[in-house]
Amino acid sequence: MLLALDAMGGDHAPASVIEGASIARERHPDLKFLLVGNREQVEPLLSSRKNLGGNAEILHTETFIAGDAKPSLALRQGGGTSMRLAIEAVASGRAEGVVSAGNTGALMVLSKFVLRTLPGVDRPAIASLYPTLRGESAMLDMGANVECDARNLFQFGVMGSAYVTALLGIPRPRVGLLNIGSEDLKGHDALRAAAAHFREIGEALPLEFHGFIEGNDITGGTVDVVVTDGFSGNIAIKMGEGTIKMFSEYLKSAYRSSLLAKLGYLLSAPALSTLKKKLDPRHYNGGVLLGLNGVVVKSHGGADGLSFANAVSVAYDLIGFKLNEKISAELKLPALSPSIASD
Amino acid sequence: MLLALDAMGGDHAPASVIEGASIARERHPDLKFLLVGNREQVEPLLSSRKNLGGNAEILHTETFIAGDAKPSLALRQGGGTSMRLAIEAVASGRAEGVVSAGNTGALMVLSKFVLRTLPGVDRPAIASLYPTLRGESAMLDMGANVECDARNLFQFGVMGSAYVTALLGIPRPRVGLLNIGSEDLKGHDALRAAAAHFREIGEALPLEFHGFIEGNDITGGTVDVVVTDGFSGNIAIKMGEGTIKMFSEYLKSAYRSSLLAKLGYLLSAPALSTLKKKLDPRHYNGGVLLGLNGVVVKSHGGADGLSFANAVSVAYDLIGFKLNEKISAELKLPALSPSIASD
């Protein structure tokens, strides 16, 4: 299996990318890499990683997309950049997937333009795993689509459910639509139409439709897949990150508030470091751009080597699972077309 | 000052309401109450609270609105209920404000119908304080309006800023519009139009417009007032509550995971209990229905006496501040009309 890596994307690129490739190759001995980036910078890093010798090829380019570049500009001026060339390697069939820690908006726009959407998918979405009281769940869309109609939400549910089957091994994931109340009358029309469609044909699909859920159900782990528009999804996930940060800071200052508390911290420290790891967003690294003709994984911009390796593992698992073939097949079910009209 | 209390609203009513009134009266010796509810249940509770003697009157009714009643049904069949009579006491001028721990949707629908909106306000919104890294901030709307146009968002900013001036004493609050990126091009049209309007005339108002903020800025305390539609606001606040719950549960199991960790917990316990109080949603009790001809405060349904007293204090502060007069005056500024057209 060959993966294209955007060697120049992310705050610590290219070092974190090469380190991540090396760690991932230890986990998956059948992995090979196409490292797209500046040869002068990549080559010395590569030569210090013995397990990549013979398994990583460099595709040289001197340009890359800045972390703060506007997606529209990336589309017009992104030709020949490391991100674009890495995506093109998937389009040409040279690579089976691409991983980048670069600009999310640019990655989405370029991937959509170069790879196009899967048959049956109107719009791609960004999905990611996150921690819950019961373990892990997935949420989508995380920010690619500000407004979504019922068809989009339905397709997100199908894609998200294939995604958690691939990554978490849940054969029939529970899917919930994020709303502001669990009653049938709450929320937007699009939510009600999507819910009706899931109820109508959900049984024909490898998922279990749970109905509407509320914001506190996200971390409650009420469902395996939370489906929402990119506006609410982005706000919810960032509110979760911000709340964990606030709680951690409050906790730190509580521990600093007295000598006894400090001593207590020292005794509890090993247990607390496990907790910290569990809630660390880097552990959940590897947002996936679902619904494209090719596997595209977005690593966190601040990813270190280990974190980038986690994103590579996500790409590896999704390709092995033949995620896109499964999504296409499910969205081709004949029952789907009549009841949710195209916009 | 006379406040009408819905003595029958909430999980622990009427006991929690009478206890809350008694605690609030200790704080504010000029407060008097109209207790709307079943005399048979209220009277014995009242007679055990000496500081309410002569300062609390009972308005008897045998009906009340169920916690899970549909708001539309509450409007059609809510006549004569404790909630409706309490709101009517404000409309008739008998009381200066109302506090209820009952059904939020019913309280909004009945208050809108009985009290009407303030001049200059298209739609009322639910606002509440919440904890941040820097202290406290306010967010609105928390769920009354699923979709909002630019005028609504602008009015929420003006109302929310008067609200934090009243409760937190901040003379010129920083106001931010919740979005999925801080760049000018992100998000809905309504957000961009509202931002343009704040930039245009914000200086004439006692607030400072910060621009767009993201989900992690909510708990970051980047602004004093977070303005958003009721869909995103409701999801964000519940995601925050859910994340705090998850973190607390993880923390508990970390402390239980070893003997040393348990010992550490015992030593840190006093410091941690301060933290717990800081993040307890009951501490932030008293969501306010802003934009109505009268002060309407919603207490948490599960409020105990102390928590209900906090909601009463919120009503007391808002009335003392003459919140509604201030909101009306600010929304009457002549600069407001031309640039944001009515929908």
Q: Are B133 and A243 inside 8 Å of each other by CB?
A: no
Last residue of a domain, one of A273, A290, A307: A290
Same domain as B261, residue B228: yes
Using an 8 Å CB-CB cutoff, list chain B residues near A245.
133, 216, 219-220
B249: closest chain A residue by CA: A133
Q: Do B231 and B296 belong to one domain? A: no
One domain, residues A246 and A329: no
How many Cα atoms within 13 Å fall on the side-chain side of residue B20?
Answer: 38
Which of A189, A239, A178, A241 minimizes the C-alpha distance to A213? A178
Q: Looking at the structure, do residues A56 and A133 belong to the same domain, yes or no?
A: no
Residue B343 lies in a domain: no
Contacts of A232 in chain B (CB under 8 A): 231-232, 235
DSSP state at residue A147: S
- Are B234 and A260 an interchain contact pair (Cβ–Cβ within 8 Å)? no
E-assigned strand segments in chain B? 2-6, 32-37, 56-60, 97-100, 125-132, 135-140, 174-178, 208-213, 225-227, 287-290, 295-298
Using the beta-carbon criterion (under 8 Å), do A234 and B265 form an inter-chain contact? no
Indicate whether B138 and B280 sit together in one domain.
yes
**Does A176 lie in the same domain as A85?**
no
Contact at CB, A235 and B214, closer than 8 angstroms: yes
User: Across residues A280-300, what is the average pLDDT?
Assistant: 86
Residues of B in contact with A132 (CB under 8 A): 246
Q: Which of A247, A262, A290 is the last residue of a domain?
A: A290
Beta-carbon separation of A251 and B143 below 8 A = no
Is B231 close to A232, i.e. CB distance below 8 A?
A: yes
In this structure, is residue B264 part of a structural domain?
yes
Q: What number is the average pLDDT over the span B129-158?
A: 93
**B329 domain-assigned:** no
Residues of chain B with C-beta less than 8 angstroms from the C-beta of A268: 254-255, 260-261, 264-265, 268
Q: Encode B155-188: b = buried (16+ Cβ within 10 Å), e = exposed.
A: bbbbbbbbbbbbbeebeebbbbbbbbeeeeebbb
Residue span of the structural domain in which B175 resides: 122-288
Q: What is the pLDDT of residue A338?
A: 46
- Taking the model in full, what pTM does it have? 0.91
Same domain, B207 and B227: yes
Is pLDDT above 70 for A17? yes
Write out pLDDT tens, residues B83-100.
999 999 999 999 999 999
Which chain A residue is nearest to residue B262, measuring alpha carbons? A268
Same structural domain, A96 and A189: no
Q: Do B146 and A180 touch (CB under 8 A)?
A: yes
Tally of structural domains, chain B: 2
Tokens of B280: 């307890």
Q: What's the pLDDT band for B188 if we cut at 50, 70, 90? A: confident
Same domain, yes or no, for A262 and A130? Answer: yes
pLDDT of residue B338 exceeding 60: no
CATH number at A31 reads 3.40.718.10
pLDDT exceeds cutoff 70 at B161 = yes
Secondary structure, 3-state, A42-53: HHHHHHCCHHHC
Q: ipTM of this predicted complex?
A: 0.90
Across the interface, of B257, B267, B270, the residue whose CB is closest to A267 is: B267
Please compute the mean of the pLDDT values over residues A273-284 and round it to a whole number: 77
Residues in A touching B265 (Cβ below 8 Å): 264, 268
Specify whether B55 is located in the same domain as B106: yes
Residue A340: the pLDDT is 59
Predicted pLDDT at B182: 64
pLDDT at position A182 over 70 = no
Task: State whether B151 and B183 are in the same domain.
Answer: yes
Same domain as B282, residue B156: yes
**Structure-model confidence comparison of residues A286 and A91, the more confident one:** A91
Tell me, yes or no, whether B339 lies in a domain: no
Going by C-alpha positions, the residue among A6, A5, A97, A20 that lies closest to residue A322 is A97
Which of A230, A261, A267 faces B261 most closely, judged by CB atoms?
A267
Task: With respect to residue B327, please indicate whether it lies within any of the assigned structural domains.
Answer: no
- CB pair distance less than 8 Å for B264 and A265: yes
- A336 has pLDDT over 60: no
Count of C-beta atoms within a 10 Å radius of residue B27: 12
